[in-house]
Amino acid sequence: MKQFLAFVRKEFYHVLRDRRTLLILFGMPIAQILIFGFALTNEVKDSEILVVDYAKDNASQELLTKIGSSRYFNIRQAALSHNEILSTFRKGKIKAVVVFPAHFNEDLLHQNKAQVQIITDASDVNTANMVTNYLSSIIVDYQNQINANLEIPYRITPEVRMLYNPQLKGAHGFVPGVMALVLLLVSVMMTAISIVREKETGTMEILLVSPFKPVLVIFAKAFPYLALSLVNVTAILLLSVFVLDLPVKGSVALLFAESTLFIITCLALGIFISIKTSSQQVAMLISLMGMLLPTIMFSGFLFPIENMPLPLQVISNIVPSKWFYIIVKSIMIKGLGLAALWRETLILLGMTLFLLLVSLKSFKIRLQ
């Protein structure tokens, strides 16, 4: 035990004395949360829209005020002719154009039916969709408002509720994703590199020729990274609660327990990589290409898995971060408990045990 502690203390010296390691360990999670939280959002906020109003009557003005007063849109300029639309789109500054035909109010009142044209820039599909949805719902809202006192038979009104994330905040999806990314980087890459470094510098030779059990060397190397990763989880949660205004709906204890499980999965992966490689660069490349890329692609954090072709959907199942992402999202945003997540947890647990077993089996107690 004393040996183990001395080893752990030594490991902390390594981490704390290397500025680059420190930067990756603590600078990266904070930077990622802030970047994803503020800069890289796919929310529609203050989108510039162009209005072409041929009607200029009561109804069109009321609807415009409604659109302009929502925090999603800024009415940038009222164009006078149809021709200006395309040229303004080309400049790329506006997200959508709303066109009111002449006699908008009259049509509405006398024919009980009027049309509004919405033109969007579909070179960015997601934004175009979202802008259309928001605009449609504002228009529907206005329609309900003027119909409030009228009895119209046979009317179906879809009552849409955005569950768990009523304000459609982007951070909801990013925080669990960033958490998976950061834990992966710290636990897989840093562990792999730190073990391979002992091989590269030759200290592994001395450690092997000592009464210290080789397996304990591995555990002692992994332990500090478990601790540091948990510090990272705490930091990310604090940032998301106090800076991004995203509270943890479910049990914080459960969240930490699941994070610990995922960290151990990553540590086992890192150990496995370190056993199979002999230089720090190779270890880093494999960790980045082999771990980071699948996490970004297959965890569902940036690209919805449901939209992928079936083979890719199947592949995504072997990426541990996918399951962790689902778990964290469910706990943080939906507030679900273990009863709802036992399946994902079990899968992650199975992966962890498998990886640990494989790593320990392939660990060499000699140089070759």
Per CB under 8 A, residues contacting other proteins are 2-3, 6-7, 10, 13-14, 17-18, 201-203, 205-212, 365-368
Tokens read off for 164: 């768990």
199 vs 329, which CB is nearer to other proteins? Answer: 199
Rounded Cα gap, residues 7 and 5, in angstroms: 5
Q: Is the dihedral of CA 175, 179, 265, 224 positive or negative?
A: negative
Question: Shortest distance, CB of residue 203 to other proteins, whole angstroms?
Answer: 5
Which is it for strands 47-53 and 96-100: parallel, antiparallel or unpaired? parallel
8 vs 139, which CB is nearer to other proteins? Answer: 8
Rounded Cα gap, residues 40 and 37, in angstroms: 7
Question: Shortest distance, CB of residue 281 to other proteins, whole angstroms?
Answer: 18
Rounded Cα gap, residues 40 and 329, in angstroms: 19
Question: Shortest distance, CB of residue 206 to other proteins, whole angstroms?
Answer: 5
Residue in the block written with tokens 């930067």? 23
What one-letter code names the amino acid at 142?
Y
CB 100 within 8 A of CB 53: yes
Question: Shortest distance, CB of residue 208 to other proteins, whole angstroms?
Answer: 6
Question: Shortest distance, CB of residue 8 to other proteins, whole angstroms?
Answer: 11
207 vs 347, which CB is nearer to other proteins? Answer: 207
Question: Shortest distance, CB of residue 26 to other proteins, whole angstroms?
Answer: 18
13 vs 38, which CB is nearer to other proteins? Answer: 13
10 vs 249, which CB is nearer to other proteins? Answer: 10
Q: Is the dihedral of CA 362, 365, 367, 368 positive or negative?
A: negative
221 vs 329, which CB is nearer to other proteins? Answer: 221
* Residue 170 neighbours by CB distance under 10 Å: 19
Rounded Cα gap, residues 15 and 161, in angstroms: 48
35 vs 206, which CB is nearer to other proteins? Answer: 206
Residues 6+ positions from 274 with CB-CB distance below 8 Å: 191, 192, 193, 194, 195, 196, 199, 283
Question: Shortest distance, CB of residue 90 to other proteins, whole angstroms?
Answer: 57
17 vs 161, which CB is nearer to other proteins? Answer: 17
Measured in whole angstroms, the distance separating CA 185 from the mean position of its chain's CA atoms is: 15
Q: Which residues pair with 78 in a beta bridge?
A: 51
Question: Shortest distance, CB of residue 207 to other proteins, whole angstroms?
Answer: 7
Q: Is the dihedral of CA 349, 351, 357, 363 positive or negative?
A: negative
Q: Is the dihedral of CA 241, 189, 230, 12 positive or negative?
A: negative
